[in-house]
Structure 1
Amino acid sequence: MELLAPAGSRQALTAAVQSGADAVYLGGPQFGARYSAENFTIEEMKTWVDYCHLYGVDVHVTVNTLVKEKEIESLKEYLKQLNEIGVDALIVQDMGAVEIIKKTVPDMTLHASTQMTVTSLEGVKYLEDMGFSRVVLARELSEKEIEHICKNAKAEIEVFVHGAICMCYSGQCLMSSILGGRSGNRGRCAQPCRLPYDLLENGKTVKSGYVLSPKDMALVNDLGTLKRIGVTSLKIEGRLKRAEYVSAVVGVYRKYLDKGGNVSKKDMQELLDAFSRTGFTDGYFKGNLGKNMMSHDTPSNSAENKFTEEAKKRAAEDSNIRKINTGIMGTLNIDAPLELTMYDNDGHYAYAQGTLKSEKALHKPMDEKRLRDQLLKLGSTPFECDDINITIDEGITIPIKEINSVRRECCESLIKQRQMREKGRELDFEIEHINRKKTDIILTCEVSDEEQFKAAVKNNIKRIYVPNDLVGTLKDVPDDVEIISKSADIFCEENIKTDGVLVSSPAAIYKYKDKEIYGDFRLNVFNSQTAQHYGHLKTVTLSPELNLHEIADLCENTNANLEVIGYGHIPLMMMKNCPIKAMGKCQKGKMIYKLKDRKREEFPIVCSKGCIAKILNSKPIFMADKIADLKKLKINSIRLIFTVEKFAQCDKIIDMYKRALNGEKNVQSMTENTYTRGHFYRGVL
């Protein structure tokens, strides 16, 4: 299995390579999901790509943020630069970025980021059809789930084995974005999950602490199992961590990948000393969810940041511990220059010939041992000789300086060969400008219960998104109302009872391809190329992180049918490890729990299919009094999402939006401080 290490800085990269990583992942100056990491300029990246390739270490570059319309040209240029310097793979989240990569640098290897929220074989199959050679699975999967995917997928499967866990499914978190304008999907997460909260039960505080702060993951004792079930790559989290941490963790994992067996107490302590939040968890992998996965008492590092001398040495800037096994063949004949060949285990050969011819020795001749010893002086190079064959005539000599020169030339030649990579094709690609027409905007509703459904029907809403479990219980549905089954937010196989289905993932698109498919906002449609990718769907819902100007720009370059969310408590987090259960409680289908933050805002917690917990924003988006701004956009529909609202409130809200769409000028706003405009007027960086 490949051991894949984080390289958030130059020193961390050195530490990863010298500690035995098979590959590293790093970010460049843009489009990477760790904006606050040190990261690398293109010029620096070229140097470090060569350094990694020298040691046979692959370089995976993160291009795993959502891309704005105005950034597409910059992305195209950046992709060509990465192609030029010979990176080995791109880690990608945005489907629009995938389309641009395929049209700009089509030979580039594609890895699907964990930000794509791939939790099923169906998700992997969709991405295989897209040209991905590797998929990084969501951290939330169990051993059994990973094994099923590995046994049935063509793509390589990569899993996280060590480091921080997001409380929310990666790629589905809007908490930092909505609350503070710093988007996790854009690499700027403010980590509100690491803040304290009160757990409210029917309005009363029943628990307090770091309710959303998980422990770090450690699967070092499960390496044998991961190999058996077919995992290709083991990923260590930590591009924001120090070089000594990278050295310590990579060093321990390298040791047990090579030797096998259970981890010693000493080595486990080294991992704990490097970084931990009150210990480690393997809860997702083992299927043991709950309190033991959480660090309720502290969100921070509880370790002493102690590192072994070996870890420190590997993390040093001038570290030269990792050696490349080579063979040497040397020939020195009478009246001829020294000829030297070096070769490695990867099939590279380097040849060098001296400029001075040997002479008959007047005093002490050069013998085989002396020539051998001189050629084996590789200390400052990355090479270590494990096979040497010398042929030398008797009674001759040559200057030591000449031997050193030939050896040095041969080493430099072998270094260049090991660093060499064939550059892929580069194509010119221009965004097609589409003369998109304005159409009448319709209202749609997403409901959570029958009461909300009745309010939508009463107000003559013609398209209603209904939870799949609720569809079969509805009565007296008018013939002209289009019922669209809302599939699970996190994919699981369901019996869809209607012709149309609202999907939240590529997995669901793959599964329900025989249905009329409507794309939900969880597809993270951020630019025209992503919209075009999903353009075959009946409707594509745009990301709620876009502002009005960005939506307008996007509309000009796609003919997809577009929907925006104009009302609702936006879901901020989707969690497999329910924070209520982890605190010793259970909602049992009722909506009685909320989280209260330091600003006294209260966030409802909703339980959904598969015991997935969902945190809603404390305030709903409200745009009825600003509908004129939405009407200026070339969108097709506005969705109203109802979650905690009762019939009367739904009835009132729908009526306000209908009147506003019909041109009524005096539609009132909601009470001050009870709503938000979302990102329509601010957006994210």
Structure 2
Amino acid sequence: MTLAVTKAAAPIRERLVKPELLAPAGSLEKLKFAVHYGADAVYIGGQKYGLRSNADNFSIAQMREGVEFAAKYGAKVFVATNIYAHNEDLPGLESYLKDLEDVGIAAIITADPAIIEAAKRAAPGLEIHLSTQQSTMNWQAVQFWKEEGVSRVVLAREASFAEIRDIKRHVDIEIETFIHGAMCSSYSGRCVLSNHFTDRDSNRGGCCQSCRWKYDLFEEGAEQPPISLTGSDDDKFMMSAKDLSMIEAVPGLIESGVDSLKIEGRMKSLHYVATVVNAYRRAIDAYCDDPEHYVLNEDWLEEIHKAANRPLNTGYYFDEPDHEDHIYTPEDKSADYDFAGVVLDYDPVSQIAAIQQRNHFKPGQEAEFFGPDGTLFKQTIGELRDEEGHLLDAARHPLQIVSMKAEFPVKPMDLMRMQKR
């Protein structure tokens, strides 16, 4: 899909407000990096009632630590409680919601009216954000949820720019929209393929990502093996949607009055979260600081592509996706960089950095360092030593701490990546 517009047709700068940048955090470490790299708020999953049951979900103690860390940056933490509950899910719900309130969680993201009512009773200090699982597409539905006590509505991913602007004109309530990440081939949350194929309920946190599987068509009959109608050498059909990326449309998003811009990806890597969050942080700040002279920085686009898992498009914002906006062949892993390490410490006198290894690297390879404060440079890796000072021919052990010279200053929580060969 071609992006033709980056600004709203009718600018409304007299009430231009910087929107919240909301990032995913599938673990406590990812939460800290999301906030450090520029998120105003993060959304996480607890060990109950969320739709990412395979993520490294948070205990109450980890939530407390995450809230305390985020508070140092002026950021908030939201918790997804977005399952559609069955009867057996309800015992213990109110106690869980009260625990969330007690540790300082700012809001829950939920779709089930039973959970909404339980939150109002048991934890009135929690804001209630309506999940995209409700597929909200019009202002009258938004008004309904406002009257039910919801303070923010996360619109369906299928909402267009025109629909978002119309909703904002009619209803005085916070609106959140997805701006980056995976798209659903069905209306978000309404797919039942996972249940049908694997007995894993998408609406209770068990989605098996069946839209990412390979499929083929076969001639009906008893032939063994079955006869493929597409040809044995053809790529197998896939129904997977391309990923959403609105980095080029940040001005229009801000001018539309959307209150929160949401990045998808609680299952994505630390490198993905940090890279994507920082690119959007820079674009949002640049436009809000000087709308009249804003220019899209090509470096932000390059950063997005360094973390991209799939081909990108603009979803439903400008028009309805067509056949060109789906992936029909085995996925092209477009990201050409691997996450290699995290900077733990740096001595400016010796220029030696302590790096925690996250992927194999060795002397002679080219590494790229980047960080939220503008660090961005490439260098050839020189001598590597372990914590005892022994020379290494490679950093090959997970989480191994090694020391190496950094040609320019780096800071703790800066990241190192390697271009794939």
TM-score, length-normalised on structure 1? 0.44
The answer to whether the 8 A contact 1:199-1:208 is kept is no
The answer to whether the 8 A contact 1:160-1:234 is kept is yes
Find the aligned partners of 1:160 and 1:289 in 2 and give their Cα distance: 16
Alignment equivalent of 2:313, drawn from 278, 281, 285: 281
Alignment equivalent of 2:278, drawn from 251, 258, 276: 251
How far does the alpha carbon of each residue in 1:113-164 deviate from its partner, in whole angstroms, 9 at most, with x for none? 0111111112211211111110111111111111111221221110000011
The answer to whether the 8 A contact 2:180-2:263 is kept is yes
How far does the alpha carbon of each residue in 1:255-304 deviate from its partner, in whole angstroms, 9 at most, with x for none? 11111344333321221121231x21103111042122112222463322
1:48 aligns with 2:66: yes
CA positional deviation for 1:33: 0.9
1:72 aligns with 2:90: yes
Pair 1:33–1:258, CA change in 2 (3 A)? same
Q: Equivalences for 1:200-599 in 2 at 5 Å?
A: 205=229, 209-260=236-287, 261-277=294-310, 279-299=311-331, 301-306=333-338
* Greater Rg by CA: 1
How far does the alpha carbon of each residue in 1:658-677 deviate from its partner, in whole angstroms, 9 at most, with x for none? xxxxxxxxxxxxxxxxxxxx
Pair 1:113–1:49, CA change in 2 (3 A)? same
CA positional deviation for 1:50: 1.0
Equivalent residue number for residue 35 of structure 1: 53
CA positional deviation for 1:241: 0.8
Q: Equivalences for 1:130-169 in 2 at 5 Å?
A: 130-169=148-187
The answer to whether the 8 A contact 2:185-2:211 is kept is yes
Pair 1:153–1:201, CA change in 2 (3 A)? farther
Find the aligned partners of 1:114 and 1:209 in 2 and give their Cα distance: 31
- SS of 1:239's equivalent in the other structure is coil
CA positional deviation for 1:231: 0.6
Equivalent residue number for residue 4 of structure 1: 22
Pair 1:322–1:280, CA change in 2 (3 A)? closer
CA positional deviation for 1:167: 0.8
Find the aligned partners of 1:253 and 1:276 in 2 and give their Cα distance: 17
CA positional deviation for 1:226: 0.9
Q: 1:30 is aligned with what amino acid?
A: K
TM-score, length-normalised on structure 2? 0.70
Equivalent residue number for residue 330 of structure 1: none
Find the aligned partners of 1:300 and 1:180 in 2 and give their Cα distance: 25
Alignment equivalent of 1:99, drawn from 94, 117, 125: 117
CA positional deviation for 1:201: 11
Find the aligned partners of 2:220 and 2:88 in 1 and give their Cα distance: 46
How far does the alpha carbon of each residue in 1:495-517 deviate from its partner, in whole angstroms, 9 at most, with x for none? xxxxxxxxxxxxxxxxxxxxxxx
CA positional deviation for 1:306: 4.0
How far does the alpha carbon of each residue in 1:41-78 deviate from its partner, in whole angstroms, 9 at most, with x for none? 10111111111112110111111112221221221111
Pair 1:259–1:13, CA change in 2 (3 A)? same
Find the aligned partners of 1:300 and 1:10 in 2 and give their Cα distance: 30
Q: 1:269 is aligned with what amino acid?
A: E
Find the aligned partners of 1:45 and 1:149 in 2 and give their Cα distance: 33
Q: 1:274 is aligned with what amino acid?
A: A
Pair 1:264–1:292, CA change in 2 (3 A)? farther
Q: Equivalences for 1:630-645 in 2 at 5 Å?
A: none
Equivalent residue number for residue 415 of structure 2: none
- SS of 2:241's equivalent in the other structure is coil
CA positional deviation for 1:229: 1.3
Equivalent residue number for residue 606 of structure 1: none
Pair 1:262–1:168, CA change in 2 (3 A)? farther
How far does the alpha carbon of each residue in 1:162-184 deviate from its partner, in whole angstroms, 9 at most, with x for none? 01111111121111012211111
CA positional deviation for 1:311: 10
Pair 1:305–1:31, CA change in 2 (3 A)? farther
Q: 1:64 is aligned with what amino acid?
A: N
Percent of aligned pairs with the same amino acid: 37
Structure 1's unaligned 5+ residue stretches are: 324-378, 381-685
How far does the alpha carbon of each residue in 1:523-550 deviate from its partner, in whole angstroms, 9 at most, with x for none? xxxxxxxxxxxxxxxxxxxxxxxxxxxx
The answer to whether the 8 A contact 2:235-2:330 is kept is no
The answer to whether the 8 A contact 1:281-1:292 is kept is no
Q: 1:143 is aligned with what amino acid?
A: F
Q: 1:252 is aligned with what amino acid?
A: A
Find the aligned partners of 1:211 and 1:247 in 2 and give their Cα distance: 29
Q: 1:47 is aligned with what amino acid?
A: E
The answer to whether the 8 A contact 1:214-1:295 is kept is yes
Pair 1:81–1:322, CA change in 2 (3 A)? farther
Pair 1:156–1:308, CA change in 2 (3 A)? farther
The answer to whether the 8 A contact 2:95-2:122 is kept is no
The answer to whether the 8 A contact 1:194-1:210 is kept is no
Pair 1:227–1:179, CA change in 2 (3 A)? same
The answer to whether the 8 A contact 1:270-1:307 is kept is no
Q: 2:283 is aligned with what amino acid?
A: Y
Equivalent residue number for residue 108 of structure 1: 126
Q: Equivalences for 1:81-96 in 2 at 5 Å?
A: 81-96=99-114
How far does the alpha carbon of each residue in 1:178-203 deviate from its partner, in whole angstroms, 9 at most, with x for none? 22111110111001101122368999
Q: 1:304 is aligned with what amino acid?
A: D
The answer to whether the 8 A contact 1:151-1:229 is kept is no
Equivalent residue number for residue 403 of structure 1: none
Alignment equivalent of 1:172, drawn from 169, 190, 199: 190
- SS of 1:235's equivalent in the other structure is strand
- SS of 1:188's equivalent in the other structure is coil
The answer to whether the 8 A contact 1:247-1:311 is kept is no
- SS of 1:73's equivalent in the other structure is coil
CA positional deviation for 1:310: 9.8
Find the aligned partners of 1:146 and 1:290 in 2 and give their Cα distance: 21
Find the aligned partners of 2:344 and 2:239 in 1 and give their Cα distance: 33
The answer to whether the 8 A contact 1:248-1:311 is kept is no
How far does the alpha carbon of each residue in 1:84-113 deviate from its partner, in whole angstroms, 9 at most, with x for none? 111100000111111111121123210000
- SS of 2:44's equivalent in the other structure is strand
The answer to whether the 8 A contact 2:283-2:300 is kept is no
Equivalent residue number for residue 212 of structure 2: 194
The answer to whether the 8 A contact 1:210-1:297 is kept is yes
Find the aligned partners of 2:82 and 2:253 in 1 and give their Cα distance: 25
Q: 1:139 is aligned with what amino acid?
A: R
CA positional deviation for 1:210: 3.9
Aligned-pair Cα RMSD in Å = 2.8
CA positional deviation for 1:309: 8.8
Equivalent residue number for residue 392 of structure 2: none
